[in-house]
């Protein structure tokens, strides 16, 4: 049995991150591989060394602290979810531990989410710690413009050893091609590789029974609450909020505190309407067939705009918006993308395996 190690975000206590990690491992297990996630949880020294080596902005640390403070008690149940649902190696706080962990596997796969973002570049997510065969399944660069020349050269060198490369967005594929001359496949986020029934099997059943509007925002813009208010007025439905920002906490609506990933999914599944600026919030709305009003978090002229993620999602499921979607058509697109993504992943690992 081929042993597959997976490298992706596991400890940023983000719903989309942990659920895409879960989905990718489930697909690999379904395909018959002995799959585990490399449990990379960099300590403070590792984070500081990477900041200095990779030329990332020190503001990233301050921004992370600010977001963590604003989120407050939102991030409940992540440790329990990892323990119950994700197969892990021993904890790896430093690069040396990653190298040792890699020796347990025949093939290494770096998973999806924004692990290849040049904004917070970390070579570990390019599997720089091993010479074992490498496959990239749909990592997101998350940006639409090339980084500075220094980071371009660094990223091109990090991508070179991969036996197979795919990315999540068309915009990311164009950037990889510009940096490396290589044309990667464009594949769906791992959460789309599991059908709706698989996600519904892990839902927390204890959610409000009356109809509601669910708000989940990563950004913090007054216009978000204007949209929520207008939708509440039009439908007569109450608004429930999963708070991640200070604005959410001051919105005046009922807050969903200490929400584990299973309940986050259940709240999406049970909502009459969803209002979100989150890629994975919108992705799960499509998978679970819930009307979703997608708000764009960035200006289109922002060089660090991550709107390409939403654009790719809508292209993938064949709609212009999810507020009034044809769910039969959406489901047909999801089924085709699921088949295409699983086939590519299996073929890439088969060809890379020694």
Taking only the tens place, the pLDDT of each residue in 79-128 is: 999 999 999 999 999 999 999 999 999 999 999 999 999 998 999 999 99
Q: How far apart are CA 148 and CA 339, in angstroms?
A: 36
Taking only the tens place, the pLDDT of each residue in 230-266 is: 999 999 999 999 998 888 999 999 999 889 999 999 9
> Can you give the pTM of this predicted structure?
0.93
CA angle, 229 then 235 then 239, to 5°: 50
pLDDT score, position 39:
98
Q: How far apart are CA 202 and CA 29, in angstroms?
A: 17
Q: How confident is the model at residue 213 (pLDDT cuts 50, 70, 90)?
A: very high
Asked whether the beta carbons of 199 and 287 are under 8 A apart, the reply is: yes
Q: How far apart are CA 207 and CA 259, in angstroms?
A: 11
Taking only the tens place, the pLDDT of each residue in 286-298 is: 999 999 999 987 5
Taking only the tens place, the pLDDT of each residue in 42-55 is: 998 998 888 878 87
Nearest to 17 by CA among 165, 181, 189: 189
pLDDT score, position 143:
86
How many angstroms separate the first and last alpha carbons of the chain? 12
pLDDT score, position 298:
55
Report the C-alpha dihedral over residues 32, 126, 163, 23, rounded to 10 degrees: 30
Q: Which residues contact 103 (CB under 8 A, 6 or more apart)?
A: 130
Taking only the tens place, the pLDDT of each residue in 158-188 is: 999 999 999 999 999 999 999 999 999 999 9
The answer, yes or no, to whether residue 300 has pLDDT greater than 60, is: no
Q: What is the mean pLDDT of residues 194-220?
A: 91
Q: How confident is the model at residue 308 (pLDDT cuts 50, 70, 90)?
A: confident
Count CB atoms within 10 A of the CB of residue 264.
Answer: 26
Q: What is the mean pLDDT of residues 280-285?
A: 97
Map out the domains of the chain with their CATH numbers: 3-194+335-352 (3.40.50), 196-327 (3.40.50)
pLDDT score, position 307:
63
CA angle, 188 then 190 then 192, to 5°: 65
Q: Which residues contact 62 (CB under 8 A, 6 or more apart)?
A: none
* Residue whose entry in the numeric block shows the structure tokens 């925002």: 217
The answer, yes or no, to whether residue 306 has pLDDT greater than 70, is: no
Q: What is the mean pLDDT of residues 270-293?
A: 96
């Amino acid at each position: 049995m081929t042993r597959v190690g997976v490298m992706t975000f596991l400890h940023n206590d983000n719903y989309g991150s942990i659920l895409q990690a879960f989905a990718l491992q489930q697909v690999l297990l379904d395909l018959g591989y002995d799959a585990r996630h490399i449990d990379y949880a960099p300590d403070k020294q590792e984070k500081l060394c990477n900041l200095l080596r990779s030329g990332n902005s020190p503001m990233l640390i301050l921004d992370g602290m600010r977001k963590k403070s604003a989120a407050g008690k939102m991030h409940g149940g992540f440790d329990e979810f990892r323990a119950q649902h994700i197969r892990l190696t021993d904890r790896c706080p430093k690069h040396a531990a990653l190298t040792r962990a890699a020796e347990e596997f025949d093939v290494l796969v770096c998973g999806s989410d924004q692990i290849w973002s040049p904004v917070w570049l970390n070579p570990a997510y390019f599997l720089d710690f091993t010479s074992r065969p490498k496959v990239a399944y749909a990592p997101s660069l998350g940006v639409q413009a090339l980084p500075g020349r220094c980071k371009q050269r660094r990223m091109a060198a990090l991508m070179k050893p991969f036996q197979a490369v795919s990315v999540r967005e068309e915009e990311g594929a164009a950037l990889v091609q510009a940096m490396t001359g290589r044309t990667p496949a464009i594949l769906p986020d791992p959460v789309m590789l599991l059908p709706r029934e698989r996600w519904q099997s892990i839902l927390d059943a204890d959610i409000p029974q009356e109809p509601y509007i669910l708000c989940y925002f990563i950004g913090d813009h007054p216009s978000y609450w204007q949209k929520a208010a207008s939708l509440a007025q039009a439908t007569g439905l109450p608004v429930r909020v999963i708070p991640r920002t200070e604005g959410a906490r001051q919105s005046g609506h009922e807050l969903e505190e200490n929400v584990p990933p299973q309940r986050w999914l259940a709240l999406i599944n049970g909502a009459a309407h969803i209002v979100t600026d989150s890629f994975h919030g919108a992705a799960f709305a499509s998978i679970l067939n819930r009307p979703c009003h997608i708000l764009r978090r960035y200006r289109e002229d922002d060089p660090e705009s991550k709107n390409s993620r939403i654009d790719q999602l809508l292209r993938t499921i064949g709609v212009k918006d999810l507020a009034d979607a044809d769910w039969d058509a959406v489901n047909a697109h999801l089924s085709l993308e699921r088949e295409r993504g699983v086939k590519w992943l299996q073929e890439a690992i088969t060809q890379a395996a020694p």
